């Protein structure tokens, strides 16, 4: 019998593949089981990467259509070819997923194609595509099975007219009217893609605001900008049914607390009301693990409470983000190898890749108000930032929050062009326990959008330099 694995990881997404690569680097005998044809999980195949490819191309198209003339650039008779746009997206996905397979080889990770199932402590059964089952012996199992779209009761996803994000990333035609259920990250990103290509977009959102969980001042500004771009928002409403029998799709809606029914007609409906942990057929019962609404719960540094079984990524609690899954994967591999491994959940950023982008890290002002902790704020508008002015991209602002007494930076929230890149500066500041004065006294290149962060930090100190 062959030597058992040190670690078998079930799931090859950002959590699983980063865990596997790090484990390989640390000299552990490692296998990663993935049931999808390619590695990379939701993120690379049907999530982060294809959505960003479409967002980038369509943002350029919209800029050429709406902004170039004002800048003195003549780009008349513009048009697009959806097949080419989609082919570009597929190329990016293919290249990146193959890259993971290459990294597995380089780091001596066995990639096992098939569906993994825990068959007791130290045993994982794999059912391969040809229907054969093999059993792997292992000292450690890492559950990294990710998440799936939360269904809307009574509504069937056919991925043609009623789609999840997966279908919305691969529509064959631009819908005339796209109805979104949920004004969260997926709705705003994929709604932007199709709106830029000509679709009318209506968002039905249960709450009375968009982007719940984000700083509410930022979310309000975002809603104003998206409305100007053409998004129609129906807040405080829910979808109660959808009729696909006719040529047009009829979507029944009513107020969140009942009453005032309204039927919307469109041609595609995207259901994006959140994602839920995926652990179907995983054999958790064989080891006495009972997942709850948040998935498989870790009681201490990714440990499930069952010896040698760990959990990371979307299938456990915390934000469902690729970099959170990746951080957990790396730390988990380090712990398995007997090294220290830790994730600082207070410094995990979130970015919405719309135009303008929205980026956030740390505590929101709403959370600080609720906790009663005394805090100071500093705000700086891109309207007063020289690079934003030079680029004619002045929408948005930076808001920093710091402890009133110690000046420790507690959170940073921004809306504006390119803030998804800028947020990393604040992640580092939070990670190093910086004060807002530290940021205010750090030299920033001029003229750049990042100066708005420095000016907001100066604002916390009460000595902003630019008007």
Binding interface with ligand FAD (CB under 6 A): 10-16, 33-36, 41-43, 47-48, 51, 115-116, 144-147, 165, 186, 278, 282, 313-314, 320-323, 325, 353
**Euclidean distance between CA atoms 132 and 154, whole angstroms:** 36
Residue 212 touches which of ligand NAI, ligand FAD, none (CB < 5 to 8 A by kind)? ligand NAI
Closer Cβ to ligand FAD, 100 or 242, answer by number: 100
Q: Determine whether 444 is an active site residue.
A: no
| CB nearer to ligand FAD: pick between 36 and 177 | 36
DSSP state at residue 372: T
322-336 and 14-25 helices cross at what angle (nearest 10)? 30
Please choose which of ligand NAI, ligand FAD, none residue 334 contacts, taking the beta carbon within 5 to 8 angstroms, the exact cut-off set by kind.
Answer: none
Q: How far is the CB of 242 from ligand NAI (least distance, A)?
A: 12
β-pairing, 357-362 with 409-416?
A: antiparallel
Q: How many helices (H) and strands (E) does the chain have?
A: 13, 22
- 32, 331 Cβ separation under 8 angstroms: no
- Give the one entry of ligand FAD, ligand NAI, none that residue 323 binds, where binding means its C-beta sits below a cut-off of 5 to 8 angstroms depending on kind: ligand FAD
DSSP assignment of 234-275 equals EETEEEEEEE-SSSSEEEEEEETTS---EEEEESEEEE-S-E
Nearer to ligand NAI, 423 or 460 (CB): 423
Q: How far is the CB of 100 from ligand NAI (least distance, A)?
A: 19
To ligand FAD, the closest distance from the beta carbon of 449 in angstroms equals: 20
Which of 94, 91, 129, 109 shows the shortest CA–CA distance to 16? 109
Return the number of the residue (43 or 249) whose C-beta is nearest ligand FAD: 43
**Which DSSP state fits 396?**
-
Of residues 351 and 434, the one with the C-beta less far from ligand NAI: 351
**Choosing from 56, 111, 323, 446, which is the catalytic residue?**
446
Residue nearest to ligand NAI (CB): 184
Q: How far is the CB of 356 from ligand NAI (least distance, A)?
A: 14
The residue (of 309 and 351) whose beta carbon lies closer to ligand NAI is 351
* Minimum distance, C-beta of residue 326 to ligand FAD, in the bound complex (Å): 8
CA dist list (Å): 424 to 350, 361, 413, 429: 10, 9, 12, 9
Residue 116 interacting partner from ligand FAD, ligand NAI, none (CB closer than 5 to 8 Å by kind): ligand FAD
Q: Which is nearer to ligand FAD, 273 or 320 (CB)?
A: 320
Tokens of 402: 């710091």
Phi-psi region of 318 (alpha: psi -120 to 50; beta: other; left: phi over 0): left
Taking the complex as a whole, the smallest distance from the CB of residue 239 to ligand NAI amounts, in Å, to: 6
Q: Cα torsion for 19, 23, 29, 31, to the nearest 10°?
A: 10
146 binds, among ligand FAD, ligand NAI, none (CB under 5 to 8 A by kind): ligand FAD
| Partner interacting with residue 273 (select from ligand FAD, ligand NAI, none; CB below 5-8 Å by kind) | ligand NAI
Q: Which two tokens stand for residue 424?
A: 């990393």
Determine whether 210 is exposed, middle or buried from the number of CB atoms within 10 Å of its CB (0-12, 13-18, 19+): buried
Binding site for ligand NAI (CB under 6 A): 152, 181-187, 189, 204-207, 212, 238-239, 272-275, 319-321, 350-353
Partner whose binding site includes residue 184, from ligand NAI, ligand FAD, none (CB under 5 to 8 Å by kind): ligand NAI
* 194: Cα within 13 Å, side-chain hemisphere: 30
DSSP string for residues in 61-118: HHHHHHTTGGGT----S----HHHHHHHHHHHHHHHHHHHHHHHHHTTEEEEESEEEE
CB of 432 to ligand FAD, least distance (A): 22
Residues catalogued as catalytic: 446
């Amino acid at each position: 019998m062959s030597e058992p694995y040190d670690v078998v990881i079930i799931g090859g997404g950002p959590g699983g593949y980063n865990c596997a690569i790090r484990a390989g680097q640390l000299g552990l005998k490692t296998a990663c089981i993935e049931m999808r044809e390619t590695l990379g999980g939701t993120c690379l195949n049907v999530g982060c990467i294809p959505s960003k490819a479409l967002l980038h191309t369509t943002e350029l198209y919209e800029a050429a259509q709406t902004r170039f003339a004002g800048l003195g650039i003549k780009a008349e008779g513009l048009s697009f070819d959806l097949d080419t746009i989609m082919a570009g997206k597929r190329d990016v996905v293919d290249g990146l997923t193959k890259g993971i397979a290459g990294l597995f080889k380089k780091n001596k990770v066995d990639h096992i194609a098939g569906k993994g199932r825990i068959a007791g402590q130290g045993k994982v059964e794999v059912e391969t595509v040809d229907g054969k089952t093999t059993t792997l012996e292992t000292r450690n199992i890492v559950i990294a099975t990710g998440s799936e779209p939360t269904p809307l009761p009574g509504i069937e996803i056919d991925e043609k007219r009623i789609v999840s994000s997966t279908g919305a990333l691969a529509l064959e035609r631009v819908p005339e009217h796209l109805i979104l259920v949920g004004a969260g990250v997926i709705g705003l990103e994929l709604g932007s893609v199709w709106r830029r290509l000509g679709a009318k977009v209506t968002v039905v959102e249960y709450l009375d605001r968009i982007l719940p969980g984000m700083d509410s001042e930022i979310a309000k500004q975002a809603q104003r900008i998206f409305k100007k771009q053409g998004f129609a928002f129906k807040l405080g409403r829910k979808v109660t049914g959808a009729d696909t029998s006719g040529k047009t799709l009829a979507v029944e809606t009513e107020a969140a607390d009942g009453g005032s029914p309204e039927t919307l007609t469109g041609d595609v409906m995207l259901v994006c009301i959140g994602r839920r942990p995926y652990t179907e057929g995983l054999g958790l019962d064989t080891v006495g693990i009972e997942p709850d609404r948040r998935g498989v719960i870790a009681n201490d540094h990714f440990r499930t409470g069952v010896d040698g079984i760990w959990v990371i990524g979307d299938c456990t609690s915390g934000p469902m983000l690729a970099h959170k899954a990746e951080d957990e994967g790396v730390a988990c591999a380090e712990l398995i190898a007997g090294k220290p491994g830790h994730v600082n959940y207070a410094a995990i950023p979130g970015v919405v890749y719309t135009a303008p982008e929205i980026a956030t890290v740390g505590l929101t002002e709403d959370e600080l108000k609720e906790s009663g902790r005394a805090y100071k704020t500093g705000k700086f508008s891109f309207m007063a930032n020289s690079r934003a002015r030079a680029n004619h991209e002045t929408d948005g602002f930076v808001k920093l929050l710091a402890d009133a007494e110690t000046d420790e930076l507690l959170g940073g929230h921004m809306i504006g062009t390119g803030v998804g890149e800028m947020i990393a500066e604040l992640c580092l500041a939070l990670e190093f326990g910086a004060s807002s004065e530290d940021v205010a006294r750090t030299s920033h290149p001029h003229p750049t959008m990042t100066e708005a962060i420095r000016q907001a930090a100066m604002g916390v100190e009460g000595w902003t330099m630019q008007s």
